[in-house]
Amino acid sequence: MSATDEAVVAAELDVLRLERAVFDELVAHARSDFPYEVCGLIGLHPDGRAEVIPVANAERSMRYYVMDSRELLRAMRRIEDEGLGLVIYHSHTHTQAYPSATDVRHAAYPDALYAIVTLQDRDVPDVRAFTIRSGIVAETPVVIGD
């Protein structure tokens, strides 16, 4: 199965399940370069485990992200080589976990899930997931737990 086929599987999930440790890792990554946005991939293993693969934000911006091309290539090769499902994530440090107009405009993988970690309320971080197809945003529930 190719990475594209796996991404289709990821996008058709009824729910994105993340272990508490994965959620904590996403939040820690979001906090690690605050107030700048961070980004990366989440690989979905066939057994349901999710694995965070951070990728540097080449722009180091508070408003958008651009994944470092070399790191992204390595991460995408790994996802394809290991047959993992694809979730693309980034953080919003000052706004809600919902795709911005820029996020929607730059969503290049219609069959992937897009997860957003928000630190808008730094004491209560949150993660939400979406599909973005032809400019249409649809939410996929995220369940955190072991």
For the chain, what is the mean pLDDT? Answer: 91
Q: Residue 70 and residue 78: Cα distance in Å, rounded?
A: 13
Composition of the chain by helix, strand, coil, percent to 5: 25, 30, 40
Where are the alpha helices (H) located in the chain, listed in sequence order? 3-11, 20-32, 69-81, 101-105
**Residue 12: pLDDT band by 50, 70, 90 thresholds?**
low
For the chain, the structural domain boundaries read: 3-141
Q: Residue 128 and residue 137: Cα distance in Å, rounded?
A: 12
The listed CATH number (3.40.1390.40, 3.40.50.300, 3.40.140.10, 1.10.8.60) that belongs to domain 3-141 = 3.40.140.10
Distances (CA, A) of 93 to 4, 44, 86, 127: 30, 25, 23, 12
- Taking only the tens place, the pLDDT of each residue in 88-145 is 999 999 999 999 999 999 999 998 999 999 999 999 999 999 999 999 999 999 999 8
Is the pTM of the predicted complex or chain greater than 0.85? Answer: yes
